[in-house]
Structure 1
């Protein structure tokens, strides 16, 4: 059933995508397919815009019946939480890869690499990224895991002889909120500015956060 009541002028609802039955023991595969269907819908801004998703829409996207979802997720909140956990996991993995790739660089450049990865994820997943941070009713440690990456990167500056303008904790909050705010402003301004502008902002921000301590530099 569509989210909207059918009217004489309503388009026909999309057909359920055909799907072969899972063999015995492939329940986990079905759970993954349902979760991936939810993630596809979350990434589609047009389909998310009018009203919240229903489990019937997720079932249609996955090519299963709605009752099949309940064998793996007790309700829509549980499915939503699994989707958010997956998205935050992907963001953390992207930040960790960037940090590892920049391990040989100075700490300020390593922090910049982390911030660039955060921006890249936001730009490549705009609808999902927006929803990730508008779900205060959901639990989960995703935001805390992201925050820990910022704290570690900023603390690394002090550990290597730099004098921080702020404490590591405050500096991490400043960097994260500034980078995230820049992304939100670009979106709210109708995409004003470019991706290059955002990344230039990141470079300037991370350079300004720390200064070499005269006693050690």
Structure 2
């Protein structure tokens, strides 16, 4: 439902109960309120993003390819679940409650950037700062593609490759 709505504020527990054919009050047996339900969905979505990135990176031949595969997996997930991706990045629940589980994806990306630096594939720098720059660019690009689909976007892979060259310092593929 969140993927279709693309807005956590538009979700109601009554609608969820109707969708799963239970009484509205039964939802409260599992979640104390709507925000808790939304937060649980977002945590699961974030776990899917991490799993997709880990699987893609594991199949790569070197640290640079692993970092690229991790970012491309995130882009694929966003393309397949645009409403959920929008809620992950722009939700009211996120602004009020935060999502500490997002730390895992940041840590994985920092480790991937550090591996590129350690292998001499990217210049030495602060991997956390580089990761934040990269994540800002990628998340911004994905959000813009979702929110402004009519723009003449270049292929996502090409744009991500430019980010990897300009922000991480990887050599052009």
- Cα contact 2:50–2:105 (8 A) shared by 1: yes
1:184 alignment counterpart: 143
> What's the secondary structure of 2:110's corresponding residue?
helix
Normalized against structure 2, the TM-score is what?
0.86
Distance 1:203 1:131 in 2: 26
Q: CA deviation at 1:161?
A: 2.5
Q: Distance in 1 between matches of 2:139 and 2:122?
A: 24
Aligned to 2:165: 207
2:117 maps to which of 146, 150, 158: 158
Distance in 1 (alpha carbons) for counterparts of 2:144 and 2:30: 38
Runs of 4+ in 1 over 4 A off after TM superposition: none
Alpha-carbon spacing, 1:193–1:153, altered in 2? closer, same or farther (3 Å): farther
Aligned counterparts of 1:81 and 1:60: Cα–Cα separation in 2: 20
- Superposed, 1:1-217 pairs within 5 Å as 41-45=1-5, 48=7, 52-102=10-60, 105-134=61-90, 135-164=94-123, 166-194=125-153, 197-208=155-166, 209-210=168-169
Query: Residues of 2 paired with 1:183 and 1:163: CA distance?
Result: 24
Write 1 or 2 for the structure with the bigger share of helix.
2
Distance in 2 (alpha carbons) for counterparts of 1:185 and 1:74? 33
Deviation at 1:90, TM superposition (A): 0.8
Alpha-carbon distance change, 165 to 187 in structure 1, aligned in 2, over 3 angstroms = farther
- CA, structure 1 residues 130+211, in 2 after alignment: closer, same or farther (shift >3 Å)? closer
Deviations along 1:178-213, one digit per CA (max 9) or x if unpaired, are 11111122233334235x61111112222342258x
What secondary structure is seen at the aligned counterpart in 2 of 1:133? helix
Q: Aligned pair count? A: 167
TM-score of the aligned structures, taking structure 1 as reference length: 0.70
Unaligned runs of 5+ in 2: none
Q: CA deviation at 1:141?
A: 2.4
- In our comparison, the structure showing a higher alpha carbon Rg is 1
Q: Which runs of 5+ in 1 are unaligned?
A: 1-40, 213-217
SS of equivalent to 1:151: helix
1:163 Cα deviation after fit: 4.8
Q: CA RMSD in A?
A: 2.1
